[in-house]
Amino acid sequence: MHSIPLVHVPDLPLVPLHEDEHLLAFDKPPGLLCVPGRGPDKQDCLIHRVQAQRWPEALIIHRLDMATSGIVLMARHPEAQRAMSAAFAERQVSKEYEAIVAGSPHCPDGAWQEIDAPILLDWPRRPIHIIDPAGKSSLTQWKLIESMNDASFLTSADDLSEIRPYSVSRLALRPVTGRTHQLRVHLQYRGWPILGDTLYAPQAVQKASNRLLLHARLLHFLNPMTGSKVWIESSVPF
């Protein structure tokens, strides 16, 4: 079993990306849990900070990995929580992420491509997940934003042999399914580990960044309480 080290995340004032009578959205910083974990050292989390600051009624709807930054949606009452949780489960919410990876994915004509590979929890090494025929069906869409063709900023790594043959690429990602670690596992499976990924990247790629370069940048959906379109965006910090 792998342990994930906790990092101190400054408790700064929260500014909603979206706020209405039913829903809230916030930008989660990397390294902060969405909800409390087990043990007194894992009680600091986004939902507790939101509730303590100004929104005691806030309820979590979905989660991001602790290492991932970006948009987290919350409800302001149980009915909205149930309705939006159902919308996520029924894939009525469009999600888009951005990542910087080691590698040169080929993306003809800039079209969206797919990674369709089942994901299974590797129980002895949990929380590590792997591609396995016995796993849950998992589908990711991806598109190349730019090939950066420069790994010079990786010189802080001890061993660059694993990454020197590759360029560095910025990708747009759409998780059609919502499996744990899905984007990280699918990209590693295709040979494009995310920079700074301490669970799935080779050591040189892990050391290329002091954080996981994965950000949830876009959510759009119909508000189930009002029927109105909601479009929430977050600036990518890398």
**Residues with catalytic roles:** 65
CA-based nearest residue to 148, from 195, 112, 201: 195
Helix (H, G, I), strand (E, B) or coil at 205: helix
Pairing of the two strands 214-222 and 69-75: parallel
User: Rounded to an integer, what distance in angstroms lies between the CA atom of residue 113 and that of residue 173?
Assistant: 10
Residue 114 half-sphere exposure toward CB, CA atoms < 13 A: 8
User: Rounded to an integer, what distance in angstroms lies between the CA atom of residue 168 and that of residue 148?
Assistant: 5
Helix (H, G, I), strand (E, B) or coil at 189: helix
Give whole-number Cα distances, 77 to 82, 83, 225, in Å.
Answer: 9, 10, 11
- b/e per residue 206-225 (b: at least 16 CB within 10 A): bbbbebbbbbbbbbebebbb
Q: What's the CA angle centered on 225, arms 220 and 230, to 5 degrees?
A: 20
Phi, psi of 41 (to 5 degrees): -80, -5
User: Rounded to an integer, what distance in angstroms lies between the CA atom of residue 41 and that of residue 43?
Assistant: 6
